[in-house]
A and B are shown apart, each in its own frame.
Chain A
């Protein structure tokens, strides 16, 4: 078994584009990050920054018009970018699993939840139906579904949103994957259920040693989960670091703005300054720094040149014209 902190997935300089009538437009630009066994990397950014596209690319589940332009995704030394469909199929759901934002629509309405959890085991473990069902029920117990043996025979519409997300987690973890990609897993749930799901993911991570790529737009949620944080803006990672470095020592104006909009439980002031403007769509990204039109600290050269990388520590890096390393 791999030890905690071993690098299990390494993404470097990944660029993704969408084919359109106007040609190939870049959506993700030169993204790099590593995932470590038993650790959580949070990918944070406003809606439309490219978090989901990045996540889908890891499993090669891009929409038909999506292309990986360049870069590499190395999983345990295996290059996924040029893997064949059958190679990546063997990895999906077995070594790398994914859960999604909408538990309401992510489960197939015409099959029982038991059979949907068992399917991963049928596909990857080649168990017979009875064994797979039994293990599926055990998995449903593990994610805290009460009366799991009976519940397994239910259809998705008979379960609440929180319960469905538990089913999704059971499904994703049934083959004890090395990596779990969680794309906004709690965004659609109300706050108490959100906390329960986060705790559950934490517990299961400790038990199975799973590396988690946790995608969210909400620093409040991220602060509970993350060991490392990467902040994404308009298809680029603009700041990264250990969770503590980002949560208390963020320097990129975008990260600071995002953090400022996050409500804090201990804060005496409840006024939330919103960042004005919106994320530029792919194909409409400005010259120079992509954040510069919305940036409070922007100066003239921000709109002319791409910002340089700045190292604040071995782990803490960002790209910005206005921040200089001491």
Chain B
């Protein structure tokens, strides 16, 4: 286990390093550098001034040298300033990260808590009314665009019923329930969008497991239908499902952009969007790298769950 974590940690660091170069270069390719923006803000600036400024900030160097300078500074703890927020990058980033993890964690948790029982029930009664109902519900969830869903929820709960805020986030000194109120609609939107897909994964995995010989053995032992499904089959069915769900954590993360924007939820999706649109290179770079890291953490979690559920997998360590 220790060896596995070390190897995977090292791999993750390597991936992050490579990603940092890729993202750095891509941002470098974007039209307009910080000096161009200064020029457009200050019409008195001459092109000689601009050249001097470029040399001063090192912007005239070739890309690999600029990357190297950035990397050495970043590794010594200097991630730079956000141009948009006029604050150190980390100070802008950490609250957004916390908000996103809270929102996505809650949405994923609710999605799993709903998907496992309904997917399992649908699989244990295939072609029943319930099964078709779940299927319909799943496709509806997958095909409804999340911006439309978000708007409908806002109209219903904020405008008509007036029970929940239409967006934003609670003051930092607000109580638990007050903060939850702001979380409910965005979390519900993300949950509805993902629960159908998750339920279908669970159903498919469950159907596959219920055909296995060891299920017949369990029945021949005298286990009842409930025990067969929830004890003998579920844990086996969870093995493929967990992987998909943990990987989903990463995709949810980037997919939450629309939801976060509509609800003005100050999370990572919105931050990345704002920083890219506002040409805030320092912030965009670090925010994108954090998103990458979170996806990697998701896949690491998937592997750990996998090994925990399936005794045949030992995480890179030999048996006994």
Contact = CB atoms under 8 A, between A and B. Distances in A.
A binds B: yes
Interface in A147-203: 155, 157-158, 168, 171
Contacts of A105: 212-214
Contacts of A108: 214, 217-218, 232, 236
A51 to B, nearest CB: 15
B222 A89 contact: yes
Given A109-B214, A109-B236, A92 B221 contact: yes
A275 to B, nearest CB: 29
A123 B223 CA distance: 7
A216 interface: no
Interface stretch (A95-103, A250-258, A265-273): A95-103
B219 interface: yes
Interface string A23-47: 0000000000000000000000000
A90 B221 CA distance: 9
Interface in A53-80: 59, 61
A124 B232 contact: no
Interface string A284-298: 000000000000000
Nearest to B220: A98
Contact of B217 (A85, A91, A100, A110): A100
A106 B213 contact: yes
A91 B222 contact: yes
Interface residues of B, number: 22
Nearest to A101: B213
B311 A100 contact: no
A239 interface: no
B222 A107 contact: no
A120 interface: yes
A98 B239 CA distance: 28
Contacts of B235: 110
Interface in B266-320: 309-312, 319
Given A105-B212, A108-B217, A109-B236, A157 B311 contact: yes
Contacts of B224: 86, 89
A61 B311 contact: no
B64 interface: no
B319 to A, nearest CB: 7
B216 interface: yes
Counting chain B CB atoms within 10 Å of each CB, which of A89, A120, A168 scores highest? A89
Given A108-B236, A110-B311, A100 B216 contact: yes
Contacts of A59: 220
Contact of A110 (B213, B220, B236): B236
B220 A61 contact: yes
Contact of B221 (A86, A109, A110, A171): A171
Given A61-B216, A108-B236, A109-B236, A119 B312 contact: no
Interface string B220-245: 11111100000010011001000000
Contacts of B216: 61, 100, 106
B218 to A, nearest CB: 7
Contacts of B239: 110
Counting chain B CB atoms within 10 Å of each CB, which of A85, A97, A102, A108 scores highest? A108
24 contacts: A61-B216, A61-B219, A61-B220, A89-B223, A89-B224, A92-B222, A93-B221, A97-B220, A98-B220, A100-B213, A100-B216, A106-B213, A106-B217, A109-B310, A110-B239, A110-B309, A120-B221, A123-B222, A124-B222, A157-B312, A158-B319, A168-B217, A171-B217, A171-B221
Nearest first, the 5 closest Cβ-Cβ pairs linking A and B are A93-B222, A93-B221, A92-B222, A105-B213, A155-B311
Interface of B: 212-214, 216-225, 232, 235-236, 239, 309-312, 319
Given A107-B214, A109-B236, 20 more contacts: A61-B216, A86-B224, A89-B223, A91-B222, A93-B220, A93-B223, A97-B220, A102-B213, A105-B212, A107-B217, A108-B217, A110-B236, A110-B239, A119-B223, A123-B221, A123-B222, A155-B311, A168-B217, A171-B217, A171-B221
